[in-house]
Amino acid sequence: MRVGVVGATGYAGAEVLRLCLTHPEMDVVVATGESNAGKSVASHVPALAALAPRMTYAPTEAVFRELLDVAFVALPHGHSQRIVPDLLAAGVMVVDLGADFRLVDPALYERWYGKPHLQPELLSRARYGLVERHRASLMGADLIAVPGCYPTATSLALGPFIDAGVVHRRGIVVNALSGVSGAGRGTSDRLHFARLASNAEAYGLLDHRHTSEMQQELGAELLFTPHLIPVSRGMLVTAYAPLVDGASVDPMALLAEAYAHDPFIVVSPEPPTLKDALGSNLCFVSARVDERTGWLLAMSSLDNLIKGAAGQAIQAWNVATGHDEALGLPRSGVTP
C-alpha cells in the first residue's frame, strides 16, 4: 500500500511515520511538513535516521502529486477539513488523527471548537476509529476519524459499564493525567521547563474540547478535568460513576468479558500505572465498586502517542483494509 503522512513533523505525525515505516504492508512514498519542507527526516527526528536515511519532508500539496492508497493526516484542528475532500475525490483513503471528523453533529464544532465545520456533509461518512467499540463499522471505511487520547482512555475504561446499564449516564466525573507530548510541538508558557518541572496543573476546566467527544461516544454527561504532568508521554485516567440503584456487578469480570477478544486491552487486577503501556499500543483497564458510597471507580492507562493517536490510527486502518488488526503494532511496552 502506498502511504502518505501529512503533518509528519509533529509528535503524532512523527509517530505515525515511524510505525508506517516498519509496517509490513505499507510503503511510505511522501511525508509532508509545511514549515520543514526540504529538510531531512533524519535531521528533524534523529530517531528515524535508520528507517528514513534519505527521506525529506515535502510541502503539503505534494500529497496530491503522488499516487496514494491512503493518507494519514496529522494536522491541527481545522486544517484537515481543507484537504480531505480533495483526497477522497482522488480515491485516497483518509485516516485523520485530528478532531475534524470525530463529531457527528456539526453544531458541536461551533460550540466546542469555536468555528463552524467547513465540510459537514462528510461527517456522516466518517467512521470513528476506536476499534474495540466500532470494529464492524470500520470495515471498508474510506474516511476514519481517529479518536482523541483522552476519549480513548475514558471510553475504554467506562464504556463496558455504561453499555451494561449498571451506572447512571449523568453525574460521571473523569480526571486524567497526561504527558506534555499531548500538547504537540508548539510552545507555550505552560510548557516551559521552569514551570513544568516538578509541577502538576489542571487545564481546560469545564470546557475541554474532548468532553463533547466523550459524551458522544458514551452517550453520557460527564465532568472532565485534564491535568498536565512533567513526563514526555503517557496517560492515566480515573473515572467515577454512580451505580444504578440495585445494580450488582463484578467490575473485573465485566471488563474481562467485554475485552476477551481485544488484543490491545489488558484487564489488570492492579490499578494501572502511567508507565505500564509506554511504547505500546496497549490500554490497561481496571475497576472497583465502592459498596460504601455506591460508586464505580474505573481506571485506564495508555501511551498517548501510540494507542492515543498513531497506533490507534494504524489499528483502525488494519481493520478497515481487512488486515490483522495487530499487524505492525507493538504489544509490549518498554521498561523501566
123-131 LR contacts (CB < 8 Å, sep 24+): 126/96, 126/101, 126/102, 127/316, 127/320, 128/102, 128/217, 129/95, 129/312, 129/313, 129/315, 129/316, 130/155, 130/156, 130/217, 130/312, 130/316, 131/262, 131/312, 131/315, 131/316, 131/319, 131/325
Which residue out of 5, 58, 71, 149 is catalytically annotated? Answer: 149
Which residues, at least 6 apart from 48, have a Cβ–Cβ distance to it below 8 Å? 14, 17, 18, 21, 41, 42
- 180 within 8 A of 244, measured Cβ to Cβ: no
- 243 within 8 A of 166, measured Cβ to Cβ: yes
Which residues, at least 6 apart from 182, have a Cβ–Cβ distance to it below 8 Å? 149, 233, 235, 304, 305, 308
Q: Say whether 149 is catalytic.
A: yes
Catalytic residues: 149
